[in-house]
Amino acid sequence: MATALEGIRIVDFTRMYSGPYCTMLLGDMGAEVIKIERAGGGDEARLLYPVKDGESGYFAYVNRSKKSIALNLKSDEGKKIALDIIRTADILIENFSPGTMKRLGLDYETVKQVKPDIVYASLSGFGQTGPYHFKPAYDGIILSMAGMVSLSGFPDKPVRPGPAVADSATGVHCALAIMTALCHKLRTGEGQYIDIAMFDTIFSMLEGFVPMATMLGTVPDRFGNGNASSAPYNMYKTKDGYVNIATANDKLFASMAKAMKREDLVENPKFCTNYLRKQNVDELDEIVSAWTAQFTCDELISILDEAKVPAGKMNTIFDLLEDPQIEARDMLIDQEVPGSGTYKFPGNPIKFSNTPVDTSRRAPELGENAAEILAECGYSQEQIDKLSADGVI
């Protein structure tokens, strides 16, 4: 079967995580992604941990399904090559600091002169406008400034989520924006500029906390592994680990009380409604914790699954590598890392009925596809050899 984005060409000036995650998703869907890297070093992510045999697993994961050409973009020849490639493309995405592409002579207004219908996406920490647009940003900075860290952790200690949530979430939002703009282009022939910020993305993901502040004038203290609106809804210790239990309404609480053989809790004036359970959450959590401590994770999950109460074990990465749901959903794939071996990496989470994703193409070595890309742009082998000798590629 054909992939959904077959025939779509993307020029990818992104590096590290947010942009490469976006273009990896689109590459898996069949787009031809030409990754333009810095001559001499390439994407900084090529050096990021984990590294084995000199190769970065971090880079290899988020840069599969792409081709690589390394250019000296500060040279006139490098800029000309970049524009020649852009002329053949449908989409351009970059995640440099605001102003960098303009200094390189590759900003939207310049690119539009050679490719009027280009869909051009800029992904940055704070966007291209506003008083913070100049600030350098990484995931932790954004999660702190956009409010997520203030809501995560325990009353006496804020905690940043482990994975780079701001990077990945913004990458997904950017992919959605690009596909929306591409649909518009295919319908009207009109390209456009996309400005997407990590700060905006995380602020938009704060769930009900902003309405709490604007409607009620209050925001709850950090509540650890609990929930702002429901109880019992927490991470509970067992004999051999932790299980998250989520009773988001009165019906689920009644089912849980029955599974606990504590139907009296449903009638208890402290716990008979969700509002009251939240008011008395510490006392209720102590009761639930004493019950869960009697079982192993598997035993507790079995009881709660039978009662149809949402519950899930706290899995480690090693647990997930053996998880039957991960296997059933093709979420672990074999991926080659040139010079190191073949390893299990996450698959693509998007499933299509008629246009399956293709995760078979490994991440490229630095500049691996330069000759192929330049030949498609009309460069002769003699020209390609000279550009290589001159350090332009």
Q: Report the candidate in 61, 15, 63, 62 with the shortest Cα–Cα distance to residue 335.
A: 61
Residue with tokens 């929930």: 227
- Among 28, 316, 337, smallest CA distance to 8 is for 28
Distance CA 346, CA 61 (A): 8
Cis peptide before 364 (omega within 30 of 0): no
Backbone angles phi, psi at 191, to 5 degrees: -85, 180
Query: What residue type is assigned to position 372 of the chain?
Result: E
Residues, the chain: 393
Place of tokens 């009165």: 250
DSSP-assigned letter for residue 326: H
Q: Angle CA(169)–CA(170)–CA(173) in degrees, nearest 5?
A: 90
In the annotation, is 264 catalytic?
Answer: no
Residue 137 near residue 109 (C-beta atoms within 8 A): no
Please compute Rg for the chain using Cα positions.
25
Q: 91-94 and 341-346 as β-strands: parallel, antiparallel, unpaired?
A: unpaired
Choosing from 12, 28, 139, 167, the catalytic residue is 167
- Dig out the tokens for 57 from the structure: 């697993």
If one counts every other C-beta atom within 10 angstroms of the C-beta of residue 152, the result is: 17
* Closest to 125 in 3D by CA, of 22, 196, 205, 25: 196
Peptide bond into 158 cis (omega under 30): no
Three-class DSSP labels, 60-104: HHHCCCEEEEEECCCCHHHHHHHHHHHHCCCEEEECCCCCHHHHC
Residue positions annotated with a catalytic role: 167
